[in-house]
Amino acid sequence: MDDFDKLLDAALERKKDGPKSETAEVSVGDAKVTLRFTELDPRVWAGCTIGHPPRPDVQIDVMFGYNLTDASLHAAPLSGVRVEGDAESKLTAEQWSKLLKALDRAGLANITNTIFGLNESAQIERMKSAGKSSAGVSKRKPRSPAN
């Protein structure tokens, strides 16, 4: 049990650094806007994913079990701020709504990829680097031709 306690203590110590953050630059009209997203608590991220069923024709959605785009856009107002120089400002719900409608496909993808990277990809990489054989995504075994 002492080894397990040490493992838990080490994991909690690593969390003292706080959640990771990354910026995403998007175009709004002729202007560039910088947004900073912060990794969500895993329980909050799970809440963002649960209401967005996977699109059956999108492989990554099927693999993770939720609509990656919708879950990430759902998480954007929970984890994002606008960055201007050294200052950060929260957007209102109305501003987030307008922003997400105003963005082009590339801007939406930039936000989605940033949020997904912080809340899903980073955890998978940590699992892999910890030497786990499974990265949180179940891999299906190929079926035998005899089946």
User: Does residue 85 lie in a domain region?
Assistant: yes
**Assigned domain for 141 exists:** no
What is the C-alpha radius of gyration for the chain, rounded to an integer number of angstroms? 18
- The verdict on residue 40 lying in a domain is yes
- The mean per-residue pLDDT over the stretch 123-143 comes to 58
In a domain, 90, yes or no: yes
Flag whether pLDDT at 134 surpasses 50: no
Q: Is residue 92 part of a domain?
A: yes
Per-residue pLDDT of 34-69, as tens digits, reads 999 999 999 999 999 999 999 999 999 999 999 999
**Range with the poorest average pLDDT among 6-10, 104-108, 112-116:** 6-10
Asked, for residue 97, whether it belongs to a domain, the answer is yes
The verdict on residue 101 lying in a domain is yes
Whole domain around residue 79: which residue ranges?
18-122
Q: How many CB atoms lie within 10 A of CB 18?
A: 8
Q: What is the mean pLDDT of residues 104-130?
A: 86
Total number of domains constituting the chain: 1
pLDDT band at 145, cuts 50/70/90? low
Give the pTM: 0.77
Q: Identify whether 107 is part of a domain.
A: yes
Q: What is the mean pLDDT of residues 63-88?
A: 97
User: What's at 6, amino acid-wise?
Assistant: K
Measured between alpha carbons, how far is 2 from 53 in angstroms, rounded to an integer? 41
